[in-house]
């Protein structure tokens, strides 16, 4: 065996299932599919008057990386607005090597995905769904 | 006599490669098989001693190229047991199905019906949906049994006087189930319908007795049958080809072109517009010749022994389930499985770290995944060159995934 993709931190994020579930309506919701692998993420969010996320929930039908990313995202999304989520996405993109620079926690955990190009979209799929939900 | 698997393996240069310090355990043959020296040599010979365009050149290289291209057609025809002029080279299996859906499909009328099944590859679904949108045909779908076979008991209820074509996978690319072609042909004949088989997963496992099958169209892919990429085959009964209008227009497929009227070349050239994939066709011809030299009863027994070893090994791992026939009867060496609590992509990624190549996901069969409410499966697809070490490496990797990822 010569692979270190599934490091403990990624597995732990996935197993934590932070934010897994659904929000009762009225919540904003969006679903995104990865047409290549069939992974599917649904994100529900509730926003405060100032446009900041007050609650978030996700349902992931996808791989461990996608689950871990949704879990990581849910752990830090509350209190952020659209720009704040965009900043988190930059972090995730830095972690997987699509942008230069160091990623902050919790997305730094995804650094092993750098060398697995075919799996990088798995990490970004929850961001795609959340971006759509935020409009 | 026992099959000389080591001797077969030696003919495939990539199987002796070492990647990141590990041997190659290639079990993704259902997606693309590997290529033997015989094929590589044939392509190289064309590229280095006979590369030119086919059909119209008068120089010696063009003549060599044309001769090699037509010889390839003869090899493919011999592999299928048909006449060379009934073999159309296409860009792939998908391209061949699209050709039939467009060209033969253009002869169908609104309200005519086509029967597919729930386990078809998207390439045998979407072209017919496109035809439906163009011409108002209707599509009926045969469901799949719990063990991943096309449920032919339902077929009689789907037949109607308007059924024009039944198009099904000869072998499922997900479950490995072998179609009962005889039953399908009998049912089709009862209403005067045609039968097309998608042979993408069957052709890599031995010559096809097309006349014996009693079908009307057969398609398969070169790259899954030890040939190059970018080449596929359509066979159709000559009277059907003759009646079909062109799919693509361009050079080579014409009789005479004027602005007032253009006439078509006879098949197969009518369906090979433009410069064809000459090198890939020559490579596929070599692949068919190579396959015809193999001891297929021996290969089949070997492949089925690998399937048994795999299924026995998976059963010993807690939480594994096979999607497909549990027995070796009427199945081919394509085995899909699920591991409880671990996504198929994570299984496949873990296997890659053990040097084992498999495919995971929906396998371009999303309706089948929906039928079983699955995200996807991990698919192990075998070829004559696979051996016990490939299966054992895979089982080691699955055990590791089971231990670490759930």
Same domain, B126 and B150: yes
Q: What's the confidence (pLDDT) of residue B375?
A: 87
User: Which 8-state DSSP code applies to residue B80?
Assistant: H
The crossing angle, in degrees rounded to 10, of helices B37-49 and B278-293 is: 150
Same domain, B389 and B364: yes
B332-371 pLDDT tens trace: 999 999 999 999 999 999 999 999 999 999 999 999 999 9
- Per-residue pLDDT of chain A (135 residues), as tens digits, is 656 889 999 999 999 999 999 999 989 999 999 887 888 999 999 999 999 999 999 999 999 999 999 999 999 999 999 999 999 999 999 999 999 999 999 999 999 999 998 899 999 999 999 999 998
Domain annotation covers residue A3: no
Which of A2, A11, A39 comes nearest B20 by C-beta? A2
Q: What's the confidence (pLDDT) of residue B3?
A: 94
B382-394 pLDDT tens trace: 999 999 999 999 9
Same domain, B235 and B320: no
Query: Which residue, of B292, B327, B351, is where some domain finishes?
Result: B292
Question: Does the pLDDT value for residue B1 go beyond 80?
Answer: no
Structure pTM? 0.92
Domain annotation covers residue B53: yes
Domain annotation covers residue B35: no
Domain annotation covers residue B397: yes
Domain annotation covers residue A2: no
Domain annotation covers residue B148: yes
Give the domain CATH number at B361.
3.90.1150.10
What is the average pLDDT score of chain B?
97
Domain annotation covers residue B208: yes
Count: domains in chain B: 2
Query: Which residue, of B292, B324, B349, is where some domain finishes?
Result: B292
Domain annotation covers residue A72: yes
Query: Which residue, of B252, B275, B292, is where some domain finishes?
Result: B292
User: B343, A63: Cβ pair inside 8 Å?
Assistant: yes
Same domain, B50 and B71: yes
Give the domain CATH number at A37.
3.90.1010.10
Cα→Cα distances B36→B102, B159, B201, Å: 34, 43, 18
Domain annotation covers residue A75: yes
Of residues B1 and B284, the one with the higher pLDDT is: B284
Domain annotation covers residue B12: yes
Same domain, B279 and B362: no
Same domain, B303 and B288: no
B305, B317, B364, B369: the active-site residue: B364
What would the mean pLDDT of B237-260 be, rounded to a whole number? 95
User: B404, A122: Cβ pair inside 8 Å?
Assistant: no
Domain annotation covers residue A98: yes
Q: Which domain holds residue B368?
A: 5-30+295-404
Domain annotation covers residue A1: no
Q: Output the 3-class SS for chain A.
A: CCCCCCCHHHHHHHHHCCCECCCCCCCEEEEEECCCCCCEEEEEEEECCCCCEEEEEEEEECCHHHHHHHHHHHHHHCCCCHHHHHHHHHHHHHHCCCCCCCCCCCHHHHHHHHHCHHHHHHHHHHHHHHHHHHC
Same domain, B227 and B143: yes
Q: What's the confidence (pLDDT) of residue B377?
A: 97
B81-125 pLDDT tens trace: 999 999 999 999 999 999 999 999 999 999 999 999 999 999 999
Q: What's the confidence (pLDDT) of residue A3?
A: 61
Determine the distance in angstroms separating the CA of A7 from the nearest CA of chain B, rounded to an integer: 10
Nearest chain A residue to B367 by CA: give it. Answer: A38
Count: domains in chain A: 1
Q: Which domain holds residue A121?
A: 8-134
CA–CA distance, B128 with A132 (Å, rounded to integer): 32
Residues of B with CB under 8 A from a CB of A: 20-22, 342-346, 349-350, 352-354, 361-362, 366, 369, 375-376, 397, 400, 404-405
Same domain, B267 and B383: no
Domain annotation covers residue B106: yes
Same domain, B266 and B308: no
What would the mean pLDDT of B281-292 be, rounded to a whole number? 98
A14-32 pLDDT tens trace: 999 999 999 999 899 999 9
In B, which residues are within 8 Å of A36 by CB distance? Answer: 361
User: B404, A2: Cβ pair inside 8 Å?
Assistant: no
Quick check: ipTM above 0.90?
Answer: no
User: A61, B376: Cβ pair inside 8 Å?
Assistant: no
Q: What's the confidence (pLDDT) of residue A132?
A: 96
**Residues B255/B263, Cβ–Cβ less than 8 Å:** yes
Same domain, B110 and B186: yes
Question: Does the pLDDT value for residue B321 go beyond 80?
Answer: yes
User: Does B364 participate in catalysis according to the annotation?
Assistant: yes
Same domain, B113 and B226: yes
Domain annotation covers residue B180: yes
Same domain, B264 and B235: yes
């Amino acid at each position: 065996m010569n692979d270190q993709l599934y490091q403990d931190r990624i597995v732990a994020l996935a197993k934590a299932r932070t934010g897994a579930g659904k929000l009762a309506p009225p919540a904003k919701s969006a679903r995104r599919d990865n047409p290549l692998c069939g992974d599917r993420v649904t994100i529900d969010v509730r926003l405060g008057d100032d446009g900041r996320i007050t609650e978030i929930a996700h349902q992931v039908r996808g791989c461990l990386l996608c689950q871990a990313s949704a879990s990581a995202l849910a752990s830090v999304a509350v209190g952020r607005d659209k720009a704040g989520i965009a900043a988190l996405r930059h972090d995730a993109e830095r972690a997987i090597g699509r942008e230069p620079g160091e990623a902050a926690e919790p997305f730094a955990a995804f650094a092993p995905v750098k060398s697995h190009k075919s799996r990088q979209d798995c990490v970004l799929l929850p961001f795609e769904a959340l971006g759509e939900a935020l409009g | 006599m026992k099959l000389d698997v080591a001797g077969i393996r030696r003919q495939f240069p990539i199987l002796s490669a070492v990647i990141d310090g590990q041997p190659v355990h290639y079990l993704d043959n259902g997606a693309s098989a590997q290529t033997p020296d015989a094929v590589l040599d044939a392509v190289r010979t064309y590229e280095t001693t006979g590369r030119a365009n086919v059909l119209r050149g008068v120089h010696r290289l063009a003549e060599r190229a044309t001769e090699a291209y037509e010889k390839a057609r003869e090899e493919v025809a011999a592999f299928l047991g048909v006449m060379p002029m009934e073999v159309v080279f296409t860009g792939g299996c998908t391209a061949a199905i699209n050709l039939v859906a467009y060209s033969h499909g253009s002869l169908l009328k609104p309200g005519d019906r086509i029967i597919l099944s729930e386990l078809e590859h998207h390439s045998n679904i979407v072209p017919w949906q496109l035809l439906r949108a163009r011409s108002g045909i209707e599509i009926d779908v045969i469901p799949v049994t719990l063990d991943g076979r096309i449920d032919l008991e339902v077929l009689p209820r789907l037949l109607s006087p308007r059924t024009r074509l039944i198009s099904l996978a000869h072998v499922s690319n997900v479950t490995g189930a072998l179609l009962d072609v005889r039953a399908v042909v009998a049912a089709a004949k009862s209403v005067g319908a045609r039968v097309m088989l998608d042979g993408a997963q069957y052709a890599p496992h031995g010559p096809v007795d097309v006349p014996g099958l009693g079908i009307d169209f057969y398609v398969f892919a070169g790259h899954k049958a030890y040939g190059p990429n970018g080449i596929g085959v359509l066979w159709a009964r000559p009277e059907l080809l003759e009646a079909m209008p062109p799919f693509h227009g361009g050079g080579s497929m014409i009789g005479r072109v004027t602005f007032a009227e253009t006439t078509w070349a006879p098949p197969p050239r009518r369906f090979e517009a433009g410069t064809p994939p000459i090198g890939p066709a020559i490579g596929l011809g070599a692949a068919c010749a190579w396959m015809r030299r193999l001891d297929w009863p021996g290969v089949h027994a070997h492949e089925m022994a690998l399937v048994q070893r795999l299924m026995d090994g998976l059963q010993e791992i807690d939480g594994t389930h096979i999607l497909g026939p549990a027995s070796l009867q009427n199945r081919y060496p394509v085995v899909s499985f699920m591991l409880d609590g671990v996504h198929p992509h994570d299984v496949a990624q873990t296997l890659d770290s053990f040097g084992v190549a498999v495919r995971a996901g929906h396998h371009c069969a999303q309706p089948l995944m929906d039928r079983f409410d699955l995200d996807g499966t991990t698919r192990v697809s075998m070829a004559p060159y696979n051996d016990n070490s490939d299966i054992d490496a895979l089982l080691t990797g699955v055990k590791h995934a089971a231990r670490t990822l759930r």
